[in-house]
Amino acid sequence: MRSDIPVMISAERIQQRVDELGHEIASVYQGRPITIVGVLTGCLVFLADLIRRLDFPLKIALVQASSYRGAATTPGQLHVQDELLPDLNGRHILLLDDILDSGQTLHYMVEHLRKNGAATVRVAVLLRKLGRQKVALEPDFRGFDIPDEFVVGYGLDYNDEYRNLPFIGMLPPDSR
């Protein structure tokens, strides 16, 4: 299965970049406690790798966001389930997602967290797809800018599969 998928970003490059992101994040927060809010399900691998590089007090919270899209990347209507979110009043929030595509999900979540009393909200994404943003949103931390290709692996899925690939790969159109 893996051999069919061309590698866009190798596992080694991802690990190296996540190391660097860990340092960037630590230097911004200067030891202040944060809550990382991960957007399920795509954030899971990135979240697990990143938190082990952060040596200061942090909590983890999760939300589920889905865009009801079909096979392709056309965004549909956004559906957010935030029942798992704890009280975030006064907390410094780092909102974490796998990829910034249209920006719809993260834009909504930033507003939602602010309304719920977060002291600050910053955004970290592993990937940003160039030329796709419909909503102005500049991530505070970003791993890689990528071209407008459908990618899988390292948490990203196609129909809920391929999340376990250790690299970011380009899913060929005939596999969709």
The binding site for Mg ion (CB under 5 A) comprises 42
* DSSP secondary structure letters along 128-176: EETT--SS----SEEEEEE-S--EEBTTB-BTTBSTT-SSEEEPPGGG-
CA 28/CA 71 separation, integer angstroms: 38
Nearer to ligand IMP by Cβ, of 22 and 169: the residue is 169
Contact in structure between 175 and 149 (CB atoms under 8 Å): no
3-class DSSP state for residue 125?
strand
Reading the block at residue 107, the tokens are: 């834009």
Region near ligand IMP per CB under 6 A, out of 22-30, 55-63, 83-91, 92-100: 92-100
Rule CB under 6 A: choose which of 42, 143, 153, 169 binds ligand IMP.
42
Supply the minimum distance, in Å, between the C-beta of residue 143 and ligand IMP: 14
Note if 157 is an active site residue: no
Of 49, 97, 98, 101, which one is the catalytic site residue? 101
Choose from Mg ion, ligand IMP, none: what does 167 bind? Cβ within 5-8 Å by kind. Answer: none
* Angle, vertex CA 97, rays to CA 91 and CA 103, nearest 5: 100
Residue nearest to Mg ion (CB): 42
Q: Does 166 bind ligand IMP (CB under 6 A)?
A: no
- Write out the catalytic residue numbers: 101
